[in-house]
Amino acid sequence: MSESSRRDIWKRHRRSTCEGGNSKLLCNVQQDVKKRYKKETKEESIRKWQSQWEETKKGAITKEFSPSVERRLAVNLHLNPNVTTIMSGHGNIRSYLHRLTLNLLAPTTVGARNNL
């Protein structure tokens, strides 16, 4: 089923409600259509995300932790600054902060390169 036809079905069913003279069967059909639409939309989003994830050259460290988008989403991961630092390879590191001009003190490795 194409994206536009799914959207059209969803719009038609969304217009009618389960109130008034509508039957219980119609209400159940509407709920089933909504669930199927949400599931198909989520699956399509994950497919697109995975495709972009595989194509990019960035995020090498993060890819070591999560080679698959679907596997990453299956893990109930509570992100905090420490986990983010490890998974991204970034953090409160002086050279990283200096590169972003957030740290006024240059790290010794950057200073040494400038003296060469």
96-105 burial, b for 16+ CB within 10 Å, e for fewer?
ebbeeeeeee
Q: Is position 110 within any domain?
A: no
pLDDT digits (tens, 9 = 90+) for 25-67: 777 778 888 899 999 999 999 999 999 999 998 888 888 888 8
Number of domains in the chain: 1
Instruction: Please give the Cα distance from 54 to 52 (Å, whole number).
Output: 5
Is 44 inside any structural domain?
yes
What's the pLDDT score for residue 48? 96
Q: Is the pLDDT of residue 115 over 60?
A: no
Within-domain flag for 105: no
Of 18-22, 48-52, 58-62, 73-77, the range with the highest mean pLDDT is 48-52
With bands split at pLDDT 50, 70 and 90, how would you rate the model's confidence at 13? low
Chain centre to alpha carbon of residue 59: 14
Kindly state whether residue 5 falls inside one of the protein's structural domains: yes
